[in-house]
């Protein structure tokens, strides 16, 4: 099992690719089943997959995969994959093979009622069959094999629907007249206030109200930076808050009024309930700790200035107190 900071290496490709002029993209939501490697146990599974064409018949994807609740394991994670694509029937049907790296978070019970948050990386191999229903909508079957060396091996099979966000129509054929390329979009400065809920990744999934305030600034086309204050509430087993700094590969759709992105960066926090370091005495203030923060966001411009934003943060702790923070916010943007 790799150490937690390795997640930065897995995300480096997304940050590098954010500066490329990539114009074709697909977002898919899928649900189905997951099985242990010997097919002895089964559970529900689901995933959200974002795929970006790099070249003709060659793509990259990033996905969130939830493997359900196999006995003794509540595992989910993020997958980075490269895909080869073979189209048929005027590109209305496509078969794809993918391979890459899966960074997982596995919640496991411990004797005495406590919980362990096990982090690690695994190879992932995937097969997908896609049928394009019209210029935008498609259905997809996906099969994954997740193959860690130090944790359970899992097979999953899911089916779902997706939407093609590219400026061209797909399947290829009657393309619109695109004319001169549009100027590259850079996110304007934005300030957003959030409210929502935090969920601690234990077998009891303790919850609390949460909030955040975020300043967002576009650095380059398809690359944002944020600084945020996060309060995770008081779900009894933690009472954590702090500041986070993240870089965000982003993309825009629908006349640039809707954007999606993934954020990576450090979360500098203090937990008043549980020390992330050893040697802290009762009554002594806990020192600040640094945890990796991985986030997903989708935002929609309500007007020229006001923006609605959904955000999901995953805090990766070193002391078995990972958490998910689900936030809904209203932001204000202004021109430079």
Q: What is the pLDDT of residue 123?
A: 96
Least confident of 40-49, 92-101, 121-130, 232-241: 40-49
Provide the whole-model pTM.
0.84
Residues 205 and 318 in one domain: yes
Mean pLDDT of the region 90-111: 92
Total of domains in the chain = 2
Residues 81 and 155 in one domain: yes
3-state SS of the chain is CCCCCHHHHHHHHHHHHCCCCCCCEEEEEEEEEEEECCCCCEEEEEEEEEEEEEECCEEEEEEEEEEEEECCEEEEEEEEEEEEEEEECCCCEEEEEEEEEEEEEEEEECCCCCEEEEEEEEEEEEEEEEEECCCCEEEEEEEEEEECCCCCCEEEEEEEEEEECCCCCCCCCCCCCCCCCCCCCCCCCEEEEEEEEEEECCCCCCEEEEEEEEEEEEEECCEEEEEEEEECCCCCCCCEEEEEEEEEEEEEECCCCEEEEEEEEEEEEEECCCCCCCCCCCCCCCCCEEEEEEEEEEEEECCCCEEEEEEEEEECCCCCCCEEEEEEEEEEECCC
Residue 106's domain spans which residues? 6-164
Residues 59 and 204 in one domain: no
Q: What is the pLDDT of residue 118?
A: 93
Residue 171, in any domain of the structure: no
Residue 172, in any domain of the structure: no
Residue 170, in any domain of the structure: no
Each residue's pLDDT tens digit, 227-249: 999 999 999 899 999 999 999 99
Most confident range, picked from 183-187, 251-255, 285-289, 332-336: 332-336
Residue 160, in any domain of the structure: yes
Mean pLDDT of the region 150-178: 76
Residue 284, in any domain of the structure: yes
Residue at which a domain ends, from 164, 199, 226: 164
Residues 241 and 195 in one domain: yes
Residues 201 and 153 in one domain: no
Residue at which a domain ends, from 146, 164, 182: 164
Residues 155 and 242 in one domain: no
Residues 118 and 241 in one domain: no
Residues 132 and 25 in one domain: yes
Residues 115 and 201 in one domain: no
Residue 263, in any domain of the structure: yes
Least confident of 40-54, 71-85, 175-189, 272-286: 272-286
Which carries the bigger pLDDT value, residue 2 or residue 325? 325
Question: For the domain that residue 276 is a member of, what is the CATH number?
Answer: 2.40.160.20
Q: What is the pLDDT of residue 2?
A: 38
Residues 24 and 104 in one domain: yes
Q: What is the pLDDT of residue 1?
A: 37
Residue 324, in any domain of the structure: yes
Residue 173, in any domain of the structure: no
Residues 51 and 114 in one domain: yes
């Amino acid at each position: 099992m790799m150490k937690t900071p390795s997640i930065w290496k897995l995300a480096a490709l997304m940050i590098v690719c954010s500066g490329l002029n990539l114009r074709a993209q697909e977002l898919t939501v899928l649900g189905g089943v997951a099985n242990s490697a010997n097919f002895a146990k089964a559970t529900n599974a689901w995933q959200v997959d974002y795929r970006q064409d790099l070249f003709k018949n060659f793509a990259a994807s990033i996905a969130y995969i939830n493997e359900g609740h196999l006995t003794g394991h509540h595992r989910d994670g993020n997958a980075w994959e490269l895909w080869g694509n073979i189209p048929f029937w005027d590109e209305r049907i496509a078969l794809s093979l993918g391979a890459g790296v899966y960074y997982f978070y596995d919640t496991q019970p411990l004797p005495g009622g406590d919980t362990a948050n096990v982090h690690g990386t695994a190879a992932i191999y995937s097969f997908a069959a896609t049928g394009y229903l019209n210029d935008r909508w498609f259905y997809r079957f996906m099969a994954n094999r997740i193959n860690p060396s130090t944790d359970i091996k899992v097979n999953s099979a899911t089916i779902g629907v997706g939407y093609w966000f590219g400026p061209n129509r797909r399947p290829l054929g009657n393309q619109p007249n695109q004319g001169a390329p549009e100027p590259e979009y850079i996110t304007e400065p934005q300030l957003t206030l959030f409210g929502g809920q935090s969920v601690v990744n234990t077998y009891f999934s303790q919850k609390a109200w949460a909030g955040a305030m975020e300043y967002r600034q576009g650095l380059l086309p398809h690359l944002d930076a944020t600084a945020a204050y996060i309060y995770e509430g008081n779900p009894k087993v933690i009472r954590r808050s702090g500041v986070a700094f993240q870089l965000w590969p982003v993309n825009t759709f629908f006349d640039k009024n809707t954007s999606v992105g993934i954020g990576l960066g450090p979360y500098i926090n203090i937990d008043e309930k549980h020390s992330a370091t050893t040697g802290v005495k009762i009554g002594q203030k806990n020192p600040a700790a640094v945890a990796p923060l991985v986030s997903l966001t989708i935002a929609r411009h309500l007007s020229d200035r006001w923006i609605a934003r959904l955000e999901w943060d995953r805090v990766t702790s070193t002391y078995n107190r990972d958490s998910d923070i689900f936030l809904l916010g209203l932001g204000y943007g202004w021109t430079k």
